[in-house]
Each structure stands twice: as C-alpha cells, then as structure tokens.
Amino acid sequence: MSTVRVLVTGAAGQVGVDLVSTLRGEVPPGADARWQPDGLAVGSDEFDVLGVTRHELDLADRDAITRVLGLTKPDVVVNLAAYTAVDQAERDVEACYAVNATATGLLSEACAALGAHFVTISTDYVFDGEKGSGYREDDVPNPQGVYGASKWAGEQRCRVQDTIVRTSWVMGVRGKSVVHVIANRAESGSTVRFVDDQTGTVTCAADLARALVTVVRERPGGVWHVANEGTTTWFDLARFVGRELGRGDEFATPITTAELSPAPLATRPRRSDLVTAKWRSRWAALPDWHEGVARLLRDRAAS
C-alpha cells in the first residue's frame, strides 16, 4: 500500500496539533489509544504528514495556496486553519471571510486541479439554534453571527465531492479553550458563573483527530456531523470539570445569557447540538463527552 500524503492547515491549532500527531501514529495527550472509529490502528508510516502553520501557508495569500499545494502535491488536504475568534469576527468581517470562506473555496479549487481530496471543518454555529432539537446534516443553516456565516459561506464554496465535517465546542489538552479556563479556576480555589441556557455538543480534539483519520482514509464526501456523544450546557460542563477536580457544587453557578456582562458581541445559538446518527451509521460513535473531558483533564494534569 502506498503512503498517503496529507497536508494539514492550521497545524498549530488545537485540532491541528492532535491530528498531525495522530496521523503520525502517535497518541496525543487526551486521546484514547484503543479507540479508532473504523477499528484500524494507525500505522507510523501510513501517512506522509505535512502540517503547515500560518507562517508556512497564510491562507489570506491566494497565490501561496496554489504554490504550496503545487509544490507538495498532497493526496488529501485537511483544512483546520480558521478565523475562530467568534466575538472579534463581528468587528473584523473581511479578515474572517478571507480565511473561512474565500480561502476554503480556493483550497477546494486547488485540490480539484491536483486530483486531491479536500476535507474542511465547519461548525454548529451555522445553525440559528431555534429548532428545539439537535441538528442533522440536512437541516438548513441560518447563522446568527459573522463567524457562523463565514463558515457557512466556506461550505457553499466547496464542491460536492469534498468532505465537510461540522463539529462543535472543541477542546483539547493543548491549545486554548474554555475547559482550561474552568480548570484553572477550579484549581485556584475560585468560582465560576456559566450560562445554562446554551445547549451543545462537546468535541474533544483528540477524538475528533481520530475521526478525521478515518475521513482521510475513506474520503466519504458530503457533510458529516462529528462530536462526542451526549449534550450539555456550559454550566453543566463547568460543574463536571469542577467535580472531576475535587470541587463541590458551590464551584459553578448557573446564569442566563441575558445576565452576561458585558454582553458578548456575537449571538450564539441557544441549542445547536449536532446529531451524529449519520456518522454512527457508518463508523463507531465518539465516546461520551464526560469520558473525553475526564481523559483531557487527566492528561492536562500530567503534562
């Protein structure tokens, strides 16, 4: 079997670092070494991995996209680079669209020209959160903020044969995410207030990385929802993290979105949990979020 060359953009981001390690046959912190959705262990020489950071490939530079892909000739491109600052995006619309929409389209086109498969990551924030139950792949997007709208615009610039993985509430041992904010507060003896009226699905970066390895192998095309099993609210997540770190129920207090001060610039969906039935009909489900977050906290403490 010949080695598959995979180019990963956003390689220094929280999913990027875990995906590059996983494709190299390593077990990144926070990962379950025994779990792989297609049941096949990752060989250390199965993939030739090229992880590129913004320094090596700035997606705002359209010529660089064609040049880097032309020079490296990947079989598969996984696009993890994104403008992810949800609130800042409200005031930085052009820069956000340049990466999340325009560059996604350019990468898709460059892959088509090379005969490479294109995988890009999108978000639950493409939905308005007003459906009242979890979102499936064929539900109609109606983003509420600039970030979600830019990611939806990126999806629309993809070709039908590309694979779009929508994920949500991503957190890893490495990189920045709310789980580290909560854990730091729990460890320092302080308390937190988190909203209990936004529901979603947590996705542990190391589990998502394993799912993406399966996507790279099988190149399914189309839209796929990928998240850990179970839904939660930000308050419920904070309380769980507190308990795992030995804090009592006084650690986390539930509040409403209306009580947030200052009010965030971007509107978030009230309920945007992703239904993963399509994924589960083909491959193994991602572990329950409690298990994934407990693993993350264990390896965070060790690292």
Ligand X SMILES: NC(=O)c1ccc[n+]([C@@H]2O[C@H](COP(=O)([O-])OP(=O)(O)OC[C@H]3O[C@@H](n4cnc5c(N)ncnc54)[C@H](OP(=O)(O)O)[C@@H]3O)[C@@H](O)[C@H]2O)c1
Q: Which residue is nearest to ligand X (CB)?
A: 13
Using CB under 6 A, pick the residue from 168, 199, 228, 231 that binds ligand X.
168
How far, rounded to the nearest angstrom, does the alpha carbon of residue 269 sit from its chain's CA centroid? Answer: 17
Q: Considering beta carbons, is residue 12 or 275 the nearer one to ligand X?
A: 12
Q: What are phi and psi of 181, to 5 degrees?
A: -60, -45
Window 138 to 157, contacts with ligand X (CB under 6 A): 151
Question: Cβ 248 to ligand X, closest distance in Å?
Answer: 28
Binding to ligand X by residue 59, rule CB under 6 A?
yes
- Residues 216 and 210: beta-carbon distance below 8 Å: no
Q: One symbol per residue from 91 to 110: x for binding ligand X (CB under 6 A), - otherwise; what is it?
A: --------x-----------
The DSSP secondary-structure symbol of 99 reads I
Active-site residue flag, 125: no
Binding to ligand X by residue 214, rule CB under 6 A?
no
Angle between helices 289-302 and 234-244 (to 10 degrees): 50
Binding to ligand X by residue 83, rule CB under 6 A?
yes
Question: Cβ 21 to ligand X, closest distance in Å?
Answer: 13
The DSSP secondary-structure symbol of 98 reads I
Widest Cα–Cα separation across the chain: 57
Return the range that interacts with ligand X (CB under 6 A); candidates 33-41, 110-118, 165-173, 266-274: 165-173
Q: Considering beta carbons, is residue 116 or 170 the nearer one to ligand X?
A: 170
Give the amino acid at 134.
Answer: G
Using CB under 6 A, pick the residue from 109, 131, 175, 294 that binds ligand X.
175
d(CA 272, CA 141): 11
d(CA 105, CA 99): 9
Using CB under 6 A, pick the residue from 15, 89, 96, 212 that binds ligand X.
15
d(CA 148, CA 10): 18
d(CA 27, CA 16): 14
Name the residues that contact ligand X, by CB under 6 A. 10, 12-16, 54, 57-60, 80-84, 99, 121, 123, 151, 167-170, 175
